[in-house]
Structure 1
């Protein structure tokens, strides 16, 4: 009887200390542990793995890994890509298969890595393995979501930031998002430095295209939708909320389904609001019910809700600035803003993305600490500009799909007040609105 020897498998976790958007990212605290520890512990749960090791270029990361009992190797700080760093690790860590698991993926599922490892072990013809999951057509529009198309056997034909495959006739087609976890056979990794950078890698900024250009096959295995990685402070706050048990790991799907929309309703399903310093709100459909009325003189009239007005003042008194952004401008709106004491606003705006950044600069905050509240397609550029986005209960399903979370109240019916209470509660200031003593401290500035 022939004895089949299982390949040895090493999981390597690259963890660079330097990060433009989030310096010191591997050591970011999540529930009392550095982020890299969460990744390491999940990697250790994968069956059939010979070794788990962190690869870093910074002594602080090495010290943190050793402090929690992990294994770590030092690598050069000059590698142009994660694959090059992995190739250096190969010189110190012996294995037949190397899994590249990024150190900013604390929500990675051990079962997904196990699926990748088991398939690599079962077929020696698979040179490189990776993961993917289905996404909606609207999510496929985002160039930050790398898409792939597959052959019948699961091999990747191409990876792109573009929306591939392109549906010429507008028919519905499936879209697959690439999950950046790779498994390499030793011989592929050893030869990686010999492959030249092709035009398509340079254009797309996707290093896996170098392998495809060199004739290396990459087999992609489909898994369930993955939780978010950590790229920015806002991402970090969301992951903290998920691991703390309060936030769903996946966002609302792009479907007109009331149960899906409800998945992010209510404060238990919201991302962390602790760091919010600025709330930018739309007017029509958020502060009003969306109705527009004209009197006999042609003056535009709107119906505001007094609770939203008080919510704005509560936020301001609680140290959170509120700005108003509207595509319309009218004497009625300016009178309402004056009554509420709102001094930061932009009216008659066409480019909401740029306007949001101008408001942030005026207040002196960054996108990661800014929330936008909108209700329709015209607000989607503002969603993209801000770290968090909320929409009202009666927004279209496709707007809900793009928001960080959905409020339980309709526009013009106290939705902004709902968010204001949630922000103040998250920041330990609920006494401002839920006690007579607390409200008494801010009564002078409280208006409706």
Structure 2
């Protein structure tokens, strides 16, 4: 199964314009852009035949090519990373497409490898995405962000077969203050997807759904059209995982990096 990993990146983010080019200080004192850090993370994933940054922006293209990345250019019309990957599909030969979103440079390689394995072993799966049980620190950060009016990470709820029931930028399921159990029954959706080409082709033929528009979550379009999104529970193995969603997340990620 030929597997191609794509890193969709756009400059015109509503919440954080220019986010792929945000600079983060590394442990050794050097500075790297977010897109380069994500590219570095992608290099550690096993079972991948090719890796491409996928963008419509010349600034991102130039920076990515500057550190040696392969770049596929797409149109500005792509509304999200999944649509951008679907458009880039015409430029590659692949049996499986992995979307490693450019704002999650702390994604461990085994998260992505678990998706690839699931898609290779389950021919019925159309889409797969990882979910990670929140530790208390991450859960508290999610709640803190929502209280401050910021959008933090995305939460996932799923059935006993690990099929997605819903994804939300709210912290779900609700837990009353002071009654947070251990382990925390909240799962963080990790910004990675694996798709079969047929699922990507169908995706762009469907109009944006009501839930997708409300939440701003691209995976809900699959669910609104009856496609099963398989949730793959992964283990952080002690590693702190945090996405860069807002400028306030930069120091959080730098702290994880030991900068």
Q: Same fold, TM exceeding 0.5? A: yes
**Given the alignment of the two structures, is residue 10 of structure 1 paired with residue 4 of structure 2, yes or no?**
yes
User: Which deviates more, 98-107 or 18-27?
Assistant: 18-27
Greater Rg by CA = 1
Change (3 A) 1:233 1:200: closer
1:16, CA displacement in angstroms? 1.2
Paired residues of 1:9 and 1:49 also in contact (CA < 8 A): yes
User: What SS does the aligned partner of 1:149 have?
Assistant: strand
Match of 1:33 in 2: 32
Higher relative contact order (CA 8 A, sep 6+): 2
1:200 aligns with 2:200: no
1:221 and 2:227 equivalent?
no
Q: How many Å apart are 1:140 and its aligned residue?
A: 6.4
* Contact 1:147-1:160 at 8 Å conserved across structures: yes
**Secondary structure of 1:188's partner?**
helix
The verdict on how the C-alpha distance between 1:216 and 1:63 changes in structure 2, with shifts beyond 3 A counting, is same
Matches within 5 A, 1:51-90: 51-90=50-89
Between stretches 233-242 and 11-20, larger displacement belongs to 233-242
**Secondary structure of residue in 2 paired with 1:233:** coil
Which 5+ residue runs of structure 2 have no aligned equivalent?
25-29
Instruction: Give 1:191's aligned residue.
Output: 202
Q: Match of 1:176?
A: 187
Give SS of 1:206's match. coil
Within 5 Å, which residues of 2 pair with 1:85-234?
Answer: 85-135=84-134, 136=136, 141=143, 142=146, 144-165=152-173, 174-225=185-236, 226-234=240-248
* 1:139–1:145 Cα contact (<8 Å) kept: no
The separation in 2 between residues aligned to 1:218 and 1:67, in whole angstroms, is 36
Displacement after TM superposition at 1:139 (Å): 5.9
Q: Decide whether aligned partners of structure 1 residues 239 and 162 sit closer, same or farther in structure 2, where only a CA change above 3 A counts.
A: closer
Q: Does 1:242 align with 2:242?
A: no
Q: How does 1:282-431 map to 2 (within 5 A)?
A: none
SS in structure 2 of the partner of residue 18 of structure 1: coil
> Hey, what's the Cα distance between the residues in 2 that align with 1:146 and 1:37?
23
Superposition deviation, residue 100 in structure 1: 1.0
Question: Aligned-residue CA RMSD in angstroms?
Answer: 2.5
The CA deviation at 1:21 is 4.7
How many Å apart are 1:197 and its aligned residue? Answer: 2.8
Q: TM-score, normalised by structure 2?
A: 0.81
Kept in 2: contact 1:16–1:58 (CA 8 A): yes
Q: Per-residue deviation at 1:238?
A: 2.9
